[in-house]
Structure 1
Amino acid sequence: MIEPPMKNKTLAAWLAFAGGPVGLHRFYLHGLADMPGWLLPIPTALGLYGIERVQQFGLDDPYSWVLIPLLGFTVAGCALRAILYALMSPQAWNARFNPQAAPDAAPGRTGWGTIGASVVSLLVGASVLMASIAFSVQRYFEYQIEEARKISQ
């Protein structure tokens, strides 16, 4: 009987950070039949479409301020997933993703690469999350002010 390959925690954390918005970490850990992995590119593509709309129609496009935060929240969510993978104990990692391995097997251990993925994910994820919230809230209030100005005239 062929045993499934061991899943490395460091690789999963980096895949969640760098390729998370297209589902690479899900495919690595759960295989190509993983439905959430196939659904992750949808909000990513919609957010990229929102950026394209801003380039075409400017910042006043009402659809862009709804679509762009989808990309930001997806990137931030994948960065959070990378942090969660990096912070899992070797026993928890191996029990979940390498059940055939010993609890302290090497693929579940935390090294400097894992810590690096966690730090970079925290920096980029928090920045993208705050930027997405700020963009959404600013556009919402600008829209409300413009509508109130129309009503008052």
Structure 2
Amino acid sequence: MPPDPSYKSKTVAAWLALLLGSFGLHRLYLYGWRDRLAWLHPWPTLAGLYGVQRMELLGQDDRLSWLLIPLLGLMLVNAALCSIIYGLKADEKWHAQHNPGLQARPSGWGAIIAVIASLLIGGTCLMATIAFSAQRYFESQVEAETANPSAQT
């Protein structure tokens, strides 16, 4: 008996969310091409990638890249969080939501390994995004202080 093409695997969804979730492919897998939230994912990701490219070309003093790069970090963290949520959802709840009326299959270790990888990658991206944003903020404050010494009290 061939597998049902409408079956949605928890393991596949968790790995798609981790690897390509910043572009919304996990939502396209789960909800189809008409999912409006899936089509909103690529834009901040592409804007963040553009910020990385701008910083490589123009250097670290480019303020627009300071604003765009954290978008990429937040989208990567969002993808990792979705992967964690998918991977840790109980199999019964997963099948009730995404596979109603189909034969339930256990998810196995693939989903758990995706959760572990998501915790590692998502935590790293979150801390890097916070560190990058805080560094740029404090550098701009120091720059403002040195540019306007009469404002010091």
Q: 1:41-64, CA deviations, whole angstroms, 9 ceiling, x for partnerless residues?
A: 001000000001101110111111
The counterpart of 1:126, out of the listed 107, 123, 129, is 123
After TM superposition, the runs of 4+ consecutive aligned structure 1 residues lying more than 6 A away are none
Q: What amino acid maps onto 1:148 in structure 2?
A: E
Q: Deviations over 1:72-108 (max 9, x none)?
A: 1100110010000000001110111112235xx10xx
- Paired residue total: 147
- State the distance in 2 between where 1:51 and 1:6 align: 38
Pairwise CA distance, 1:37 = 0.5
1:39 aligns with 2:40: yes
Task: Give, in whole Å, the separation in 1 of the partners of 2:96 and 2:145.
Answer: 57
Shift of 1:4: 6.5
Name the structure 2 match of 1:55. 56
Q: Does 2:92 match 1:91?
A: yes
Residue ranges of structure 1 left out of the alignment (5+ in a row)? none
TM-score, normalisation: structure 1: 0.92
Q: Please give the alpha-carbon distance, in whole angstroms, between the structure 1 residues aligned to 2:115 and 2:33.
A: 25
**C-alpha distance in structure 1 between counterparts of 2:31 and 2:5, whole Å:** 11
Are 2:25 and 1:28 equivalent residues in the alignment? Answer: no
Aligned amino acid, residue 114 of structure 1: A
**Map of 2:15 onto structure 1:** 14
Identity %: 49
| Alignment partner, residue 149 of structure 2 | 152
CA distance in 2, matches of 1:42, 1:137: 24
- Cα displacement (A) at 1:69: 0.7
| RMSD of Structure 2 on Structure 1 (CA) | 1.3
